[in-house]
């Protein structure tokens, strides 16, 4: 087995994260007539619940202006709505509308086809190992110090 340094492993992870963008765009975003940023917003709101624009920008590591444009378009499409947040008027959380929730579930169906392709050839044990590793990495990344080292 190939012994990689931590940096080489990180580069491999970045390659996979970059390469997954094409199947997600071609197999999910384009057929749903949304951009990849809009797709990621729908997935985040569908999975995490209501989030404000700045929270989406931080979570996705995307410029706030790009998030703002995507939120406007998704709202115009009737997929998002602003949540009443009278207790904190500076925070404007968005959530999926019923139409947005339906779209979210359609997207998950398309993602199943991409998942079949991506994980083709891996047995259930290998998929479980990958899922566990990804969950551990996600937990580690959640405690990244703000502003870096």
Segment (H or E) for 96: strand 93-96
Residue with tokens 């994260």: 17
pLDDT digits (tens, 9 = 90+) for 65-77: 999 999 999 999 9
pLDDT of residue 35: 97
Render pLDDT for 36-52 as a digit per residue (tens, 0 to 9): 999 999 999 999 999 99
Q: What is the pLDDT of residue 29?
A: 97
pLDDT of residue 1: 61
Give the pLDDT score at 109: 96
Average pLDDT, 10 consecutive residues per value, the chain (149 residues): 87 94 96 97 96 94 96 97 83 95 97 95 95 95 85
* Helix extents (H) in the chain: 6-19, 21-24, 36-48, 53-60, 64-76, 98-118, 124-142
From the list 78, 37, 67, 60, the residue with the least C-alpha distance to 141 is: 60
State residue 119's pLDDT score: 95
């Amino acid at each position: 087995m190939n012994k990689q340094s931590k940096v080489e492993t990180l580069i491999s992870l970045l390659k996979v994260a970059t390469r997954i963008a094409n199947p997600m765009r071609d197999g999910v975003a384009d057929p749903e007539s949304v951009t990849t940023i809009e797709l990621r917003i729908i997935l985040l709101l569908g999975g995490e619940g209501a989030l404000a624009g700045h929270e989406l920008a931080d979570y996705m590591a995307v410029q706030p202006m790009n998030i703002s444009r995507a939120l406007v378009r998704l709202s115009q499409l009737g997929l998002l709505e602003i949540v009443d947040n009278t207790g904190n008027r500076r925070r404007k959380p968005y959530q999926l509308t019923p139409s947005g929730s339906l779209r979210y579930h359609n997207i998950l169906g398309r993602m199943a086809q991409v998942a079949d392709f991506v994980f083709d050839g891996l047995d259930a044990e290998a998929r479980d190992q990958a899922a566990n590793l990804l969950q551990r990495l996600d937990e580690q990344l959640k405690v990244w110090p703000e502003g870096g080292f």
